[in-house]
Amino acid sequence: MAAAGRLRRRLLLVVPWRWGCSPRRWGTGGPAAGQVRVAFLRFFQERHGHRRLPSAPVRPRGDPRLLFVNAGMNQFKPIFLGTVHPRSELAQYKRVVNSQKCVRAGGKHNDLEDVGRDTYHHTFFEMLGNWSFGDYFKEEACSMAWELLTEVYEIPRDRLYVTYFGGDSSLGLNADEECRDIWLCLGVPASHVLPFPLKDNFWEMGDTGPCGPCTEIHYDHVGGGRNAAALVNQGSPDVVEIWNLVFMQYSREVEGNLIPLPQHHVDTGMGLERLVTVLQNKHSNYDTDLFTPILDAIHKGCGGPRYQGLVGEADIGAVNMAYRVVADHVRTLCVCITDGIYPGLSGAELVLRRILRRAVRFCSEVLHAPPGLLASLVPTVVDVLGDAYPELRKNTDQIADIINENEAAFLSSLERGRRIIERTVQQMEPSMDFPAEVAWSLYGNLGFPLDLIDLMLEEKGIRLDSAAFDELALEDAKRKAHGLQARQLEGENVYLDVHSLAQLHSNNVPVTDDSPKYAYTLGQHGQYEFSPCQATILMLYRDQSLQEEVGAGQHCGVILDRTNFYAEQGGQASDRGYLMRLGQQDTLFPVESVHLCGGYVIHEVTAVETLRAGDQVQLFVDEAQRLACMINHTATHLLSFALRHILGDNTEQQGSHVTAERLRFDFNTKGPVTMEHLQQVEQVVQEVIKRNEVVHMAEVPLTLARRVQGLRTVDEEYPDPVRIVSLGVPVESVLIHDSEAAMHTSVELCCGTHLLQTGAVEDLAIISERQLAKGISRVIAVTGGQAKQAREVGQYLAMEVDSLSIRLKQGSTSIPEVQNLSREVGQLTKVVASTAMPQWQRKELQTILKALQRTANTAIKKLEMQQAAEKAQSLLAKHCNQPVIIDTVPADSPSILMKVVNHLCDKSPGTSVLLLSPQASGEVLCACQVSKNCLPMFSAADWATAVCTQMEGKAGGSCVVAKGSGNAKGMQGALTTALAFAQSKL
Ligand code: ATP
Ligand code: MG
């Protein structure tokens, strides 16, 4: 309690500190959110010497394991991990304060499900935090927090409860009594200081790395003299956590044990929204000035009833929930789009797309708002948050445009989805669960967020058959993983056999007109617009035979008179999407893949209901997937051109494959492909992207096409007429006799669907390059946001490698420390090998890491030798000129122990030596060496075996040197045995 006594004395000296806007001037409504935020920052900056840092963007820079920045500490992770570059600015920080934009909507921290249902979890929120990096610790952290809450913000003390870590016997951790005592000393009554187990009060960054106990501060919204201790950490909306103070004092090792960290850190986080709720004397975050302007704007935009703050069953029709969801989600959208996360198809972007769709759905279905409401809220959000985060003001129009575009796309499918659900429900038996296949197609084909489907069903009092749904999801994942293999298994419905083909011909069924697949244009704002397509079913195919009708639930091939679906060919993956029967907008037939067979395009379809030849259908291609393929296909042509440009004209394409996720390109070339080549290739590609060249496409007779000079063709059969794709130069120009135009740009025979201009590729990064065979290389590349991300990850890892190298060069003299660094080199080597990043950079980092590994190994060996020499020296002095030395000695590893033994024998060649070294784990290491003079009578292996058997262990070696280990319990007996054995041999 001595520390606590000091603290009490210090607190008595504290002169109450006042922030600029004294609480006395607040009036009844309490301080505005902006004042609360500023007071926090100033309190730590001015009163406690913290450096104020801006919020990091919510898009994590270079951390591929994170979807969104979800806590203030994210940007300081390298400091906690000890991997910070010692010369970087970050490494200079001792005390820091900031207000961090956080998103918890995916990955480890995901509060999306709670948003709207409760009143204190958001997808986007602001985290106020203060940090100590190896500076102050528990005592100061708690007292600063207490001072701020009770003296600056003047929160009544009796409403606050604090928790501390109650210990964990399985980890051998005691309760954090130090923390408990600090709170007691600060005057918190014992009934408000509560222990909680590991799950609540021990914070870990990941499976390994820094961790430690934490202490949380909770607020009782009800008060009135009651004791609310029993409600803390129970998920009650009345007693809510507002602040978490983490004390980073251990490191969790790979083996699962905890070792104390050399430096102690403090990492705290307090949700601004929850704090403002307390200070404005409200019960719900949505009743504070961070949300009321947005709720008002929603009301204005949709008419209808006002927001009343109702929750749960009282909230009839979920109108209040809709208000909360929309207000929350539009904030998240504004912040994410500003920081470069756009609604998209994978990772964080997919999460954002779901958030947007969830918001749109609540706007239209529950609030009955006209389209455009969501985007109309953007200026209000910017008003509320723009002072704290000025970056929001830069592109307000762009945020609104992106929201509107995505809304329009979703609204059309929403309408369809609603009808599908309605019709399915009508056909269901009352006690049935909602069929998983229908939910799957809503999710997969119409892009419905899962929780949205749940919600729509919940409103109808129906549950989804989630077990079956999970199974479908698993199957889909497997199918994607196996790609071709899986498709081949299903091939019976997709590839027509010879008999069926002959039958189609003899029945005069015309081959499919698939020209509508090229029917797309660039819209006014540069977005791609795909024309709709209507068709008639000519024939169905199932169980290797042509059929006029296929029953509900069956998998079949569908042959149409025309289609806008791209069938897998020329290395471009097929389109996905769905069909609908004309006039029946409530049934959706998913199209899983599309193949070309003898001129017929076979759509692989699940017939949710009976399908018949003659049915009229409307075709919907998954436009996002198609666009991603178009980007990657055009990028493949750029890559092919750039490779030729850099590696020489005899570089020939051997094969390529394009999917929505990546592109693969095989080519043969003379000589090795160096990393400089890859960098140069990327540069050439980027230049063409920047020029935003027009992609010219036209069909020409094959004979004419073959005359084009320098034409890049692959050894494939081409149809006649054939399509020419030419970058920047009109097809007519490359066809002119003797024109050399095709020598200087990319001109290929290609039936793929391409971009109309190269700019949309945005960026290309080669993330892998390897030799398939002598002279044949395969590269894998990604484009757009993925390429950008790969580059950021590369830079981030380069920094980590740089930091590691500096720390290694500092030349530690502690063996465990150097061993830790060596382990870090190993871990980083694995990450560098397995993460998507530019290949040239990967190679560069791998070379450095290899050298670092050598440095570390040499350093360890050298330190071990030094230590061994010192230990041997003192043993030699102790046992001066004895024929046998038997002793115990501290040594960190068997190899050090052996080195001590070797060293002793070198210095004193007539002496035989056996040393034992007890370890913290309870194990005893043994090493021995027998003097040449004593051979062959005296065998080292026998000696060690006799000694280790005594300790219930084992040993082995030669007659000169041997080693082994055993149990500490038998150590005294082992020493006696060692001596008796030696004496019997001498
Ligand atoms: P809870 O148990 O309430 O979800 P948490 O334990 O996940 O909180 P921490 O990770 O400790 O919270 O984050 C620190 C602080 O950030 C919390 O005390 C709270 O004030 C705030 N906070 C956390 N998640 C949210 C959220 N989704 N919305 C608003 N504030 C949040
Ligand atoms: Mg949480």
When pLDDT is cut at 50, 70 and 90, the band that residue 199 belongs to is very high
Which residue has the CA at smallest separation from atom 23 of ligand 1?
271
State whether the beta carbon of 274 lies less than 6 angstroms from ligand 1.
yes
Q: For position 84, what pLDDT does the model report? A: 73
Of 863 and 252, the one with more pLDDT? 863
Which residue has the CA at smallest separation from atom 19 of ligand 1?
271
When pLDDT is cut at 50, 70 and 90, the band that residue 493 belongs to is low
Ligand 2 centre to CA of 691 (Å) is: 47
pLDDT digits (tens, 9 = 90+) for 891-942: 888 989 999 999 999 999 999 999 999 998 889 999 999 999 888 889 999 9
Q: For position 854, what pLDDT does the model report? A: 96
Ligand 2 centre to CA of 382 (Å) is: 26
- Res. 587: pLDDT tops 50: yes
> What stretches of 225-346 show up as alpha helix (H) in DSSP?
272-279, 292-302, 319-338
Residue 724, Cβ neighbours under 10 Å: how many? 22
Give the DSSP letter string of 358-403.
HHHHIIIIIS-PPTTHHHHTHHHHHHHHTTT-GGGGTTHHHHHHHH
The mean predicted confidence, pLDDT, of the chain is 89
Q: For position 223, what pLDDT does the model report? A: 92
Output the CA–CA distances (angstroms, integers) from residue 180 to 169, 192, 462, in the order listed: 18, 10, 48
- What is the C-alpha separation between 80 and 252, in angstroms, rounded? 12
State whether the beta carbon of 271 lies less than 6 angstroms from ligand 1.
yes
State whether the beta carbon of 290 lies less than 6 angstroms from ligand 1.
no
- Res. 334: pLDDT tops 60: yes
Q: Which of 70, 162, 274, 277 to mutate to test the pocket of ligand 1 (most atoms within 8 A of CB)?
A: 274
When pLDDT is cut at 50, 70 and 90, the band that residue 700 belongs to is very high
Atom number of ligand 1 nearest to Cα 241:
18
Q: For position 40, what pLDDT does the model report? A: 97
Q: Which of 98, 162, 241 to mutate to test the pocket of ligand 1 (most atoms within 8 A of CB)?
A: 241
Output the CA–CA distances (angstroms, integers) from residue 578 to 120, 662, 883, in the order listed: 40, 23, 89
Which residue bears the tokens 């990657």? 632
When pLDDT is cut at 50, 70 and 90, the band that residue 481 belongs to is low
- Res. 706: pLDDT tops 70: yes
**Of 75-89, 234-248, 304-318, 633-647, minimum mean pLDDT range:** 75-89
- What is the C-alpha separation between 956 and 965, in angstroms, rounded? 10
Atom number of ligand 1 nearest to Cα 111:
27
Q: For position 26, what pLDDT does the model report? A: 60
- Res. 825: pLDDT tops 60: yes
Q: For position 494, what pLDDT does the model report? A: 67
- Res. 20: pLDDT tops 50: no
Q: What are phi and psi of 552, to 5 degrees?
A: -60, 140
* Average of per-residue pLDDT across 956-967: 96
State whether the beta carbon of 270 lies less than 6 angstroms from ligand 1.
yes
Q: For position 8, what pLDDT does the model report? A: 38
State whether the beta carbon of 127 lies less than 6 angstroms from ligand 1.
yes
Written as one letter, the residue type at 810 is Q
pLDDT digits (tens, 9 = 90+) for 728-783: 999 999 888 878 888 889 999 999 999 999 999 999 999 999 988 778 899 999 99
Q: What are phi and psi of 510, to 5 degrees?
A: -70, 150
| Structure token digits, residue 728 | 């920047």
Output the CA–CA distances (angstroms, integers) from residue 869 to 801, 884, 902, 911, 931, in the order listed: 33, 18, 9, 16, 18
- What is the C-alpha separation between 448 and 357, in angstroms, rounded? 7
- What is the C-alpha separation between 666 and 344, in angstroms, rounded? 29
* Average of per-residue pLDDT across 91-99: 93
**What is the torsional sign of CA 428, 430, 436, 441?**
positive
Of 477 and 484, the one with more pLDDT? 477
- Res. 478: pLDDT tops 80: no
Q: For position 27, what pLDDT does the model report? A: 63
- Give the rounded distance of the alpha carbon of 560 from its chain centre: 41
Written as one letter, the residue type at 662 is R
**Of 61-75, 350-364, 602-616, minimum mean pLDDT range:** 61-75
- Res. 332: pLDDT tops 60: yes
Closest ligand (CA of 244)? 1
pLDDT digits (tens, 9 = 90+) for 505-520: 888 999 999 999 999 9
Atom number of ligand 1 nearest to Cα 285:
29
Atom number of ligand 1 nearest to Cα 115:
27
Q: Which one, of 112, 84, 71, lies nearest residue 206 by Cα? A: 71
**Of 344-358, 702-716, 806-820, minimum mean pLDDT range:** 702-716
* Average of per-residue pLDDT across 392-416: 89
* Average of per-residue pLDDT across 872-897: 91
Which residue has the CA at smallest separation from atom 22 of ligand 1?
271
State whether the beta carbon of 242 lies less than 6 angstroms from ligand 1.
yes
State whether the beta carbon of 125 lies less than 6 angstroms from ligand 1.
yes
Q: Which of 122, 125, 200, 216 to mutate to test the pocket of ligand 1 (most atoms within 8 A of CB)?
A: 125
State whether the beta carbon of 244 lies less than 6 angstroms from ligand 1.
yes
- What is the C-alpha separation between 154 and 877, in angstroms, rounded? 69
CA angle 729, 735, 739 (to 5 degrees): 75
* Average of per-residue pLDDT across 373-388: 97
State whether the beta carbon of 116 lies less than 6 angstroms from ligand 1.
no
Ligand 2 centre to CA of 72 (Å) is: 14
Which residue has the CA at smallest separation from atom 21 of ligand 1?
271
pLDDT digits (tens, 9 = 90+) for 422-476: 888 888 888 888 988 888 888 877 777 777 788 788 878 888 888 888 888 888 7
Closest ligand (CA of 120)? 1
Atom number of ligand 1 nearest to Cα 203:
11
- Res. 489: pLDDT tops 60: no
Contact between 305 and 170 under an 8 Å Cβ cutoff? The reply is: no
- Res. 659: pLDDT tops 50: yes
Output the CA–CA distances (angstroms, integers) from residue 841 to 756, 829, 844, in the order listed: 32, 13, 5
pLDDT digits (tens, 9 = 90+) for 342-354: 888 778 888 999 8
Q: Which of 551-560, 719-728, 846-855 has the highest mean pLDDT?
A: 846-855
Q: Which one, of 869, 903, 870, lies nearest residue 885 by Cα? A: 903
* Average of per-residue pLDDT across 838-850: 97
State whether the beta carbon of 111 lies less than 6 angstroms from ligand 1.
yes
Q: For position 279, what pLDDT does the model report? A: 96
Q: Which one, of 326, 234, 221, 227, lies nearest residue 279 by Cα? A: 221
Q: For position 715, what pLDDT does the model report? A: 54
- Res. 317: pLDDT tops 60: yes
Q: For position 921, what pLDDT does the model report? A: 84
pTM for this entry: 0.70
State whether the beta carbon of 897 lies less than 6 angstroms from ligand 1.
no
Ligand 1 centre to CA of 29 (Å) is: 24
What residues have CB less than 8 Å from 550, skipping those under 6 apart? 540, 542, 556, 607, 610, 611
Q: Tell me the binding residues for Zn(2+).
A: 633, 637, 750, 754
Q: Which of 75-79, 470-474, 582-586, 886-890 has the highest mean pLDDT?
A: 886-890
State whether the beta carbon of 201 lies less than 6 angstroms from ligand 1.
no
Q: Tell me the binding residues.
A: 633, 637, 750, 754
β-pairing verdict for 923-929 and 954-957: unpaired
Residue 737, Cβ neighbours under 10 Å: how many? 6
- What is the C-alpha separation between 518 and 575, in angstroms, rounded? 13
* Average of per-residue pLDDT across 678-688: 97
Q: For position 713, what pLDDT does the model report? A: 65
- What is the C-alpha separation between 806 and 799, in angstroms, rounded? 11
- Res. 846: pLDDT tops 90: yes
Burial 495-533 (b: 16+ CB within 10 A, else e): bbeeebbeebeeeebeebebebbbebeeeeeeebebeeb
Which residue has the CA at smallest separation from atom 13 of ligand 1?
269
State whether the beta carbon of 245 lies less than 6 angstroms from ligand 1.
no
- Omega cis (within 30) before 721: yes
State whether the beta carbon of 273 lies less than 6 angstroms from ligand 1.
yes
| Structure token digits, residue 491 | 């091939």
Q: Ramachandran region of residue 116, left (φ > 0), alpha (ψ -120 to 50) or beta? A: left
* Average of per-residue pLDDT across 130-144: 97
